[in-house]
Amino acid sequence: MRDLKFLFPFLLLLIPVLSYPQDQPATPITTVDVHSIGPQKLGYLPPIIAPPNNPQSAAKIQLGKMLYFDTRLSKDNTISCATCHDPSMGWSDAGPTSSGIDKQKGGRRAPPVSNAAYCPLQFWDGRAPTLEEQAKGPIQNPIEMGNTHEVMIRTVNDIPGYVAKFEDVFGTPTITVDMVADAIAAFERTVVTTDSPFDRYVKGADQALTPLEKKGLEIFNGKGHCTACHWSAHFSDGRFHNLGVTPTDPAKPDEGRYAITNNPADRGAFKTPTIRDVALRPPYMHNGSEKTLEDVVDLYDRGGRVGDPNLDPLIVPLGLTKNEKKALVAFMTRAMTSLNPEVADVKPIPASDFPK
Amino acid sequence: MKRLSVFVLTLIFLDLALPVDSQAIPAFARKYGQNCNMCHVAFTKLNDYGQRFRDNGYQVAGQEGKESNVIGIAPPLSLRLVLGYSAYINDVASTSGFGLYGFDLLAAGVLHKNVSFLLIYTPRIDSPASQYFGDSGASQIGSLESVSLVFSNLVNTALNIRVGRFEPGYHVFSSKRSFYLFEPYEIYTFTTRNNSYVFDDNQIGIEATGHYPIGFKYALGVVNGNGANPDNNVNKDIYLNVVQTFGKGDGQTAGQRIGAFGYLGWQPLDLPGTVISPTGETNGGDNKSFYRIGGTASFNLRTLNLQVLYMMGSDDKALNSLDSTKNYEYSGGFAELDYAGLLNNRLVASVLYNWITPPSYDSERQMMAYSALLRCYTGDWTAVNVAFHVEFTHRETGKDVKYKENMIGLALDFGF
């Protein structure tokens, strides 16, 4: 034993490893720079922290909810935020891509509004840094709501009911685009799904997941390589990857993040979406090219599309067995589907209830 | 006399059969909150993702600079412990016993974007205590199996530099990350007379590596060539390894891969016998050359992976104490078939064939060995893992008179 004394210093070195707090509360994602820290563990979502310049209030949230469902923000009074981000469709739509005014088709799938508050950047290509900035975009997108900010503001300012509510919330009767965006963002920050079987499981309810779902979680965090990108409590790294998704138009592939950064490494790269509630919103990928979760798993298992010159180096064939795929899908289907009634029960506001 | 030679052979076998220092770095898994199979087919063998992680200087490929360095995480320390029971039977004797077959302390991590390190300390646990602190001068109580700095992506992915003591890049099938604990690749440890170079040794020097999106990789190194010992001549050994992968993946678990390697070294015949440098180097003279060349291939079919290595070696005739008129030329290799299955690769099975063909005048060292193993992994634990391991080897040495040996080992392979 005397001759093993030399091991003691190394055993002492292990103390800081063993004592490192493994279960410390996750840092709120909105307050850290996701682009400079590495993968974080899967876990339950921390509370949303609203930005200091747009604090939450019940009145603002209610106002934002009205605006979210109000088609009058669009050019021809036919499209609202909820048209493409429908609560009954996992806060997305039927896809594969979204339809805007005059039944124009967009090139990309509607990203879910649920838990978007946890995204460090918004849109598939990350061109908006905040929910507030994101909310302004579709209003003046010619194939989405087709309006202009000026016309939209005139419209809202002409509705006395809105003027009164904005004055109540913001203290001024003159409505601006920023106010509209702030209100919508405040509402969207309430659309968070924090209670899924997975969340209950990580909080200690061992029976919350079935044995098959537990196997799926193991694959998700191991051989399936899912947590290479779908990490943290949000199940997303908030970063951009080219997965080798089959383009809608091979002759003119969507350049994705490259259009924003002009960085060749971003060509064909899109933001990692969250896995939370993923089963509620097929089809999948930025262009809705994969119909089911099984198709998605198959795509990853193959290692993406053959011949994609800018495939993310994270993407490699996985060698999953049929049972492993089944477990993965089981995990993503029920275990990741939220049980939050306050989100699931959000109903569209009928036009008759809009401010007059 | 026969008993003595059997005893010596037994010792040699047991020495070779002791596990090589193995690498699995659970500190990485702890850092990322992922389980071992993110990077390993099943620890310790790397999958394609893990291979890319290693090639990229312990950074997630494509995510350089976007993760915490060693300051921002738990201390990046890991240990690997292999303990168990083994039985050995040869033509005339048998033995068995419990053993502590391997113990490594590892630290590795990212210091800064594209700057990382790896340190493996291996305490000596397999020698008499007198060798630790005795007065005979054998005071080494362990070895720095590896300590290296890696500077990654100096020219995109085409140039990475590793300095220190490291596993040379020609080890595309690393004995340190092999499933086999007791019986590594025999050709790696086959040594020739009057030559201190061991193919399997980690070497001190500098290495440039590169990998390209088309699946091509290279490793070019300059090393002392005699393991961790101070250099013994002014000539430096050089090596080159190239591999090409076809299809997706890196040939570890997906895609198909072929490669070739060459090592050119120098061994002094004239050793002055005294240390002439403050740092321990000697100025051995009359340097004679030797080389090792070979080819590698890795084929994947679903959950099966076949790894093949063929190597030829040649030492200058001046190094050949058996026949000084000829270069000492030999060849050998191995073929290994691995299966990984059950959920998250909880079960690994493998068969391995080793062979060595020395020159005819040294036929006593001709060797062939069959090995097989099963490994079962216990659970889904982030960065902690335990594998139950059983491994069997049958080996025959010699040409006309074959010396037969059998070894079976049971082990717990624990990584933290």
A 10 A CB-CB count for A39 gives 22
Facing B66 at nearest CB: one of A38, A41, A214: A38
Q: How far apart are CA A78 and CA A348, in angstroms?
A: 14
Q: How far apart are CA B318 and CA B285, in angstroms?
A: 13
**Locus of tokens 């097929």:** A282
Q: How far apart are CA A42 and CA A234, in angstroms?
A: 8
Q: How far apart are CA A34 and CA A120, in angstroms?
A: 7
Q: Does B141 touch chain A (CB under 8 A)?
A: yes
Strand segments, DSSP code E, in chain A are 240-241, 270-271
Rounded to the nearest 5°, which phi and psi values hold at B103?
Answer: -150, 115
pLDDT of residue A115: 94
Q: Does B33 touch chain A (CB under 8 A)?
A: yes
Q: Model's pTM, two decimal places?
A: 0.85
Q: Does A9 touch chain B (CB under 8 A)?
A: no
Please, which pLDDT band fits residue B67 given cuts at 50, 70 and 90? confident
Neighboring chain B residues of A38 at a CB cutoff of 8 Å = 31-32, 60, 63, 66-68, 73
Q: Mark yes or no for CB contact A316/B65 under 8 Å.
A: no
Q: Mark yes or no for CB contact A312/B345 under 8 Å.
A: no
Facing A218 at nearest CB: one of B33, B141, B380: B380
Angle of CA points B404, B406, B411, to nearest 5°: 160
pLDDT of residue B294: 97
Q: Does A6 touch chain B (CB under 8 A)?
A: yes
Q: Does B378 touch chain A (CB under 8 A)?
A: no
Q: Mark yes or no for CB contact A304/B248 under 8 Å.
A: yes
pLDDT of residue B296: 97
Long-range contacts of B277-281 (CB under 8 A, 24+ apart): B277/B230, B279/B230, B280/B229, B280/B230, B281/B230, B281/B231, B281/B232
Q: How far apart are CA A268 and CA A240, in angstroms?
A: 9
pLDDT at B330 over 60: yes
Q: Which of B36, B45, B66, B122 to mutate to test the interface with A (most CBs of A within 10 A)?
A: B66
pLDDT of residue B134: 38
* CA distance to A44, A141, B52, B215, B306, per residue, from B251 (Å): 36, 46, 11, 9, 10
Residue whose C-alpha is closest to residue B126's, from B89, B87, B86, B99? B99
DSSP string, B342-381: SGGG-EEEEEEEEEEE--GGGGGG-EEEEEEEEEEE----
Considering only residues 326 to 365 of chain B, which have any Cβ-Cβ distance to chain A shorter than 8 Å?
A: 340-341, 343-345
* CA distance to A49, B37, B39, per residue, from B322 (Å): 78, 48, 46
Cα pseudo-dihedral A290, A291, A292, A293, rounded to 10: 20
Q: Mark yes or no for CB contact B132/A223 under 8 Å.
A: no
Q: Which residues pair with B333 in a beta bridge?
A: B310, B355
pLDDT digits (tens, 9 = 90+) for B74-88: 778 888 899 999 999
Which of A248-257, B243-252, B377-386 is the least confident region?
Answer: B377-386
Q: Does B248 touch chain A (CB under 8 A)?
A: yes
pLDDT at B127 over 70: no
Nearest C-alpha in B relative to A10: B105
Q: What is the mean pLDDT of residues B347-374?
A: 96
Q: How far apart are CA B53 and CA B366, in angstroms?
A: 38
DSSP symbol at B72: G
Neighboring chain A residues of B132 at a CB cutoff of 8 Å = 3, 6
Please, which pLDDT band fits residue B133 given cuts at 50, 70 and 90? very low
Q: How far apart are CA B356 and CA B331, in angstroms?
A: 6
Cis peptide before A313 (omega within 30 of 0): no
Q: Mark yes or no for CB contact A17/B77 under 8 Å.
A: yes
Cis peptide before A283 (omega within 30 of 0): yes
One-letter amino acid at B295 equals: G
Residue whose C-alpha is closest to residue A217's, from A208, A356, B207, A338? A208
Facing B253 at nearest CB: one of A304, A319, A321: A319
Q: Does A308 touch chain B (CB under 8 A)?
A: no
Name residues of chain A where pLDDT drops below 50.
1-4, 6-36
Q: Mark yes or no for CB contact A39/B60 under 8 Å.
A: yes
Q: Mark yes or no for CB contact B34/A215 under 8 Å.
A: no
Q: Does B130 touch chain A (CB under 8 A)?
A: no
Considering only residues 105 to 144 of chain A, which have any Cβ-Cβ distance to chain B shorter than 8 Å?
A: none
Q: Is B115 exposed, middle or buried (0-12, 13-18, 19+ CB in 10 A)?
A: middle
Q: Does B298 touch chain A (CB under 8 A)?
A: no
Residue whose C-alpha is closest to residue A244's, from A310, A288, A199, A334? A310
The CATH code for residues B2-415 is 2.40.160.10
Pairwise pLDDT comparison (B67 vs B86), residue with the higher score? B86
**Locus of tokens 């059983």:** B390
**Length of chain A, in residues:** 356
pLDDT of residue A39: 66
Domain boundaries, chain B: 2-415
Q: Does B129 touch chain A (CB under 8 A)?
A: yes
* Least Cα separation, residue A254 to chain B (angstroms): 20
Query: Per residue in A335-346, is it b (16+ CB within 10 Å) or e — as a string?
Result: bbbbebeebbeb
Give the sign of the dihedral formed by CA A155, CA A157, CA A159, CA A164: positive
pLDDT of residue B100: 86
Cis peptide before B44 (omega within 30 of 0): yes
Residues 6+ apart with CB under 8 A from A206: none
Domains and CATH numbers, chain A: 58-192 (1.10.760.10), 197-335 (1.10.760.10)
* CA distance to A20, A61, B60, per residue, from B27 (Å): 12, 44, 14
Pairwise pLDDT comparison (B61 vs B69), residue with the higher score? B61
Residue whose C-alpha is closest to residue B174's, from B224, B132, B120, B134? B120
Q: How far apart are CA A216 and CA A200, in angstroms?
A: 16
Q: Which two tokens stand for residue A202?
A: 């990580």
pLDDT digits (tens, 9 = 90+) for B30-44: 778 888 888 999 988
A 10 A CB-CB count for A139 gives 24
* Least Cα separation, residue A90 to chain B (angstroms): 28
Q: Mark yes or no for CB contact B142/A219 under 8 Å.
A: no
pLDDT digits (tens, 9 = 90+) for A302-350: 998 877 888 998 999 999 999 999 999 999 999 999 998 888 888 888 8
Considering only residues 223 to 282 of chain A, which have any Cβ-Cβ distance to chain B shorter than 8 Å?
A: 223, 225, 227-228, 231, 239, 241, 265
pLDDT of residue B371: 96
pLDDT of residue B126: 54
Q: Does B142 touch chain A (CB under 8 A)?
A: yes
A 10 A CB-CB count for B61 gives 19
Nearest C-alpha in B relative to A39: B32
R_g of chain A computed on alpha carbons: 22
pLDDT digits (tens, 9 = 90+) for B253-278: 999 999 999 999 999 988 776 777 88
Q: Mark yes or no for CB contact A215/B105 under 8 Å.
A: no
Q: Mark yes or no for CB contact A227/B34 under 8 Å.
A: yes
Q: Does A8 touch chain B (CB under 8 A)?
A: no
Catalytic residues of A: 144
pLDDT of residue A171: 94
Facing A319 at nearest CB: one of B62, B72, B303: B303
Q: Mark yes or no for CB contact B48/A219 under 8 Å.
A: no
Q: Find the distance separating the first CA and the last CA of chain A, reported in whole Å.
A: 86
Neighboring chain B residues of A222 at a CB cutoff of 8 Å = 34-38, 344, 380
pLDDT digits (tens, 9 = 90+) for B150-192: 999 999 899 999 999 999 999 999 998 999 998 789 999 998 8
